[in-house]
């Protein structure tokens, strides 16, 4: 049995799809399970234990006939028995049909002509559960398992060594991901909490919990953001994980993860760390598990993430 899953989107989308991959592997333990993802999302499969091969296709690019023919050839050579697609473009369903894949699972829509096993799209639920509904197209009625990721001993040892270098102890530090993504800015996505409000949050935490170390995750675009925060919080510690797996290992060692709606937020859920996440226009109940108290979403009253008051964030931190 060979199964192909087509999963457009970024790292967060891939992590949310992990429970679906887990169920497919449990139901078809002898199967070879492959995925096709966008180039930016390939790194997510460094922490997934269910996938055999990761193939690349830029679903959001302006693909021409030659691109689709190339993808057609890649898929055809592997002779898949089942295809599960998260996207809803009719062209993808047509491509799978041309390949002669007998079982093609996808969401039901006005353009799902080439999907052999359509599934109703229920967008009101947690995204991982919504993705997991696709297995019903294979007559699988198993519940959606919790999101989990694979961390190696090497990743965990790296995190322990970094904790020692920073002078913090496992489960005794607050970890913050500020969400200062340039991609979000370019796309006009309101997921970045203003620096001046982060400064107020850090100041209040320091005043009331001076014994609690604060560690900030620094990405490649965060230098200016970190510098501004350190101007009001000189004891702020900074970590620059080398890859997604090491980031996951360091998050796993935190007492609390405080972040915005982002890939690291889903990673925090995947390693089981208590998480407080800030949401602007996106909805917390669709992006965090609603059945687990350790994942708390703070929703903006106006739909703008910058309108979340720092005091409201601090209130949640005090409850940990």
**Domain holding 202: CATH number?**
3.40.50.2000
pLDDT value at position 233?
84
What pLDDT, in 10s, does the model give residues 142-194?
999 999 999 999 999 999 999 999 999 999 999 999 865 665 666 667 788 99
Structure tokens at 207: 């005043």
Structure tokens at 258: 């405080």
Structure tokens at 287: 């992006």
Band the pLDDT of 140: cuts 50, 70, 90.
Answer: very high
Do 116 and 25 lie in one domain? The reply is yes
Domain assignment of residue 143, yes or no: no
Mapped onto helix, strand or coil, the DSSP state of residue 28 is coil
Domain assignment of residue 144, yes or no: no
pTM of the model as a whole: 0.93
pLDDT value at position 230?
87
For the chain, what is the mean pLDDT? 92
Do 303 and 182 lie in one domain? The reply is yes
Do 133 and 157 lie in one domain? The reply is no
pLDDT value at position 320?
76
pLDDT value at position 186?
64
Span 72-78, average pLDDT: 85
Between 284 and 221, name the one with better pLDDT: 284
* Whole-number Å distance between alpha carbons of 93 and 112: 7
**139: CB partners within 8 A, 6+ apart:** none
* Whole-number Å distance between alpha carbons of 274 and 258: 9
Do 11 and 113 lie in one domain? The reply is yes
Beta-carbon count within 10 A of 150 CB: 15
pLDDT value at position 159?
97
Domain range spanning residue 120? 2-138
Domain assignment of residue 147, yes or no: no
Span 271-293, average pLDDT: 92
Do 304 and 160 lie in one domain? The reply is yes
Domain assignment of residue 27, yes or no: yes
Mapped onto helix, strand or coil, the DSSP state of residue 83 is strand
pLDDT value at position 232?
81
pLDDT value at position 60?
72
pLDDT value at position 187?
64
């Amino acid at each position: 049995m060979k199964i192909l899953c087509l999963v457009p989107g970024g790292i967060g989308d891939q992590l949310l799809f992990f429970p679906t991959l887990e169920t497919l592997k449990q139901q078809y333990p002898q199967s070879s399970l492959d995925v096709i993802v966008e180039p930016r999302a390939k790194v997510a499969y460094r922490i997934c234990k269910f996938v055999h091969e990761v193939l690349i296709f830029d679903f959001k690019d302006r693909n021409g006939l030659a691109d689709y023919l190339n993808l057609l050839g890649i898929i055809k050579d592997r002779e898949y028995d089942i295809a599960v697609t998260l996207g809803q473009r009719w062209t993808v369903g047509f491509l799978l049909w041309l390949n002669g894949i007998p079982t093609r699972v996808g969401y039901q829509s006005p353009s799902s002509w080439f999907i052999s096993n359509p599934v109703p799209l229920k967008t009101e639920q947690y995204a991982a559960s919504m993705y997991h509904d696709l297995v019903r197209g294979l007559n699988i009625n198993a519940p959606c398992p919790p999101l989990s990721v694979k961390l190696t001993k090497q990743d965990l040892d790296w995190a322990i060594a970094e904790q020692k270098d920073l002078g913090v102890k496992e489960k005794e530090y607050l970890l913050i991901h500020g969400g200062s993504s340039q991609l979000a800015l370019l796309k006009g996505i309101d997921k970045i909490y203003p620096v001046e409000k982060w400064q107020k949050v850090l100041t209040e935490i320091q005043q009331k919990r001076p014994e609690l170390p604060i560690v900030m995750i620094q990405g490649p675009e965060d230098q200016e953001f970190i510098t501004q925060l350190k101007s009001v919080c000189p004891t702020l510690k900074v970590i620059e994980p080398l890859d997604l797996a090491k980031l996951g290992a360091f998050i796993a060692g935190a007492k609390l993860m405080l972040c915005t709606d982002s890939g690291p937020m889903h990673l925090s859920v995947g390693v089981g760390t208590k998480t407080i996440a800030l949401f602007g226009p996106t909805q917390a109940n669709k992006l965090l598990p609603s059945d687990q108290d350790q994942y708390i979403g703070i929703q903006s009253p106006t739909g703008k993430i910058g309108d979340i008051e720092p005091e409201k964030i601090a209130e949640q931190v005090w409850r940990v």
